[in-house]
Structure 1
Amino acid sequence: MSLDNGPDHPIFPGVGFITVAELSWQHVEAISDVVRVGQHVSCEFFQFDDWNGEARLSLKAMQPDPFAAFVEGTAVGQKLQGRVTRLVPFGVFVQVADSIEGLVHLRELTWTPVETPEDVLQVGEEVTVVVTEIDRQRRRLLLSRRQASPDLR
């Protein structure tokens, strides 16, 4: 990234660096989904990395944290509708609001034990879940599908 205003890079003047984690509040699959080569963006300056000689920047710091706003109106025990976005060996991620995903652990998918999430759900499937834990510090939302449906087997 080229800096219009900022500290000079010893080899490439005006160069700054944004890590993938600092691109967006949302999960980033491909960097090109967020930014393009040649695009001008406004970023927040975090620090100057003396080791690499570059400015560390954040694009997401320029936007309000959607998780903080979401948890203000959400409580443990609340039922939510969502869409399965990712299957992982230990469960599934469900998008319950714009930019907000929560984890349904494998043991919380059904009342009957399952070995893999694929045994129960597929990406894109709509589900009802219950909020079981909100971790504001780590920005994590834990969900349960089985608690949302007591008769789910």
Structure 2
Amino acid sequence: MGGQSEHPELWAFLAALRSGEVLSGTVAAIERFGVFVALDEGPRHPVFPGVGFVTYPELSWRRFEAATEIVQAGQRVSGEFLQFDTWNLEARMSLRAIQADPFPAFAEVTTVGSELRGVVTALSPIGTFVEVADGIEGLVPPRTPAEPQPEAGAEVTVVVTGIDRERRRLTLRGRCQG
């Protein structure tokens, strides 16, 4: 990619950014490995469509299948600067860092034993993921291999069996019928 000597203006711009600073720009391209953001300030990137780069986990607190569920090309976005990627000469950013994490507020009002209604979002070998509030998903581990799993999109009733605030994990027990 070239470093400090080949692209001194870009290097100087990126090196001056501070962790936590909010950067704004326009979504320039959505790729399978992340999202490029053309920043409002600073020089253009010599190769990539934008100097800002957001990995998929940093797009949102919510689970999503495709980045286009969160952002669209041409959309204005703001994100927190995480680090200067000196290899790719880009500013790693987080859009979710400037959004409120819904988990602490949810954990504040929810207790083990609470019964909740939710929607099945994904099925996996480790169990069924159920969204019980906006941006809040929990895992219902399978009880027996023969136990039928509901389909994605099904409404289910679940009971909270564990809340791990540090790891943002919610464990559920559920009836497999809606």
TM bin, normalised by shorter chain, reads 0.7 to 0.9
Tell me the alpha carbon deviations over residues 50-101 of structure 1, each in whole angstroms, 9 at most, x when there is no partner.
1221101011112100111111111111111111111112211111111111
Equivalent residue for 1:69, pick from 101, 105, 110: 105
The answer to which structure has the higher strand fraction is: 2
CA gap of 1:127–1:10, structure 2 versus 1, over 3 A, is same
> Which residue of 1 is the match for residue 166 of structure 2?
137
Structure 1 residues without counterparts, runs of 5 or longer: 108-112
What is the TM-score of this pair, normalised by structure 1?
Answer: 0.82
Q: Give RMSD over aligned pairs.
A: 2.3
Equivalent AA in structure 1 for residue 150 of structure 2? L
Instruction: Tell me how far 1:131 sits from its aligned partner.
Output: 0.7
Runs of 4+ displaced beyond 6 Å: none
> Which residue of 2 is the match for residue 122 of structure 1?
151
> Which residue of 2 is the match for residue 92 of structure 1?
128
* Range moving further from structure 2, 8-17 or 39-48: 8-17
> Which residue of 1 is the match for residue 91 of structure 2?
55
What is the TM-score of this pair, normalised by structure 2?
Answer: 0.71
Tell me the alpha carbon deviations over residues 77-128 of structure 1, each in whole angstroms, 9 at most, x when there is no partner.
1111111111112211111111111000001xxxxx334x6x2422222221
Structure 2 residues without counterparts, runs of 5 or longer: 1-36
Count of paired positions = 141
Matches for 1:13-24 after TM superposition, within 5 Å: 15-24=51-60
> Which residue of 1 is the match for residue 71 of structure 2?
35
CA gap of 1:2–1:104, structure 2 versus 1, over 3 A, is same
